[in-house]
């Protein structure tokens, strides 16, 4: 119960502070920035591969909606993340039908190495 109370107090303090809201909104734009810079060849895809960094878009979207709340700009930021994730899932279908499932597992559990996950499929 103490954890739930601490999370609720954190949520209230974030919703009261415009600065913290702005920080969370900017952090939710990190994944689309990595994707655009990598897609245009500005960023090195070997170091910051958008396929393996899908967890950033996933978790920052959840944090944005839960802690900041639902507004038009937040929904737009979440939709940008969702469209990029769905695009990469569609592209990963070229690797077979098991790759999107492996990416979903990697997105939810980013600690597990991708080579372990892909060996399951």
What does the alpha-carbon distance between residue 115 and residue 84 come to, in Å, rounded to a whole number?
23
- pLDDT tens for residues 58-71? 999 999 999 999 99
Instruction: State how far the Cα of 18 lies from the Cα of 35, in Å rounded to an integer.
Output: 27
Residue 118, pLDDT above cutoff 90 = no
| pTM for the structure as a whole | 0.85
Tokens of 69: 């709340």
The domain locations on the chain are: 2-94
Phi and psi of 39, rounded to 5°? -70, -35
Mean pLDDT over each residue of the chain, to the nearest integer: 91
Alpha-carbon distance of 27 to 110, in angstroms, equals: 17
Computed on alpha carbons and rounded to an integer, the radius of gyration of the chain in Å comes to: 16
Residue 15: CA atoms inside 13 Å, Cβ hemisphere, count? 13
């Amino acid at each position: 119960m103490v954890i739930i109370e601490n999370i609720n107090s954190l949520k209230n303090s974030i919703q009261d502070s415009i600065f913290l809201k702005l920080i969370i909104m900017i952090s939710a734009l990190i994944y689309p920035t990595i994707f655009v810079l990598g897609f245009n060849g500005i960023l090195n895809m070997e170091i910051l591969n958008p396929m393996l960094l899908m967890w950033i878009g996933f978790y920052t979207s959840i944090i944005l909606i839960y802690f900041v709340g639902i507004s038009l700009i937040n929904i737009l930021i979440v939709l940008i993340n969702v469209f990029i994730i769905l695009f990469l899932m569609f592209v990963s279908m070229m690797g077979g039908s098991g790759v999107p499932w492996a990416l979903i597992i990697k997105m939810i559990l980013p600690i597990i190495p991708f080579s372990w996950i892909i060996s399951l499929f």
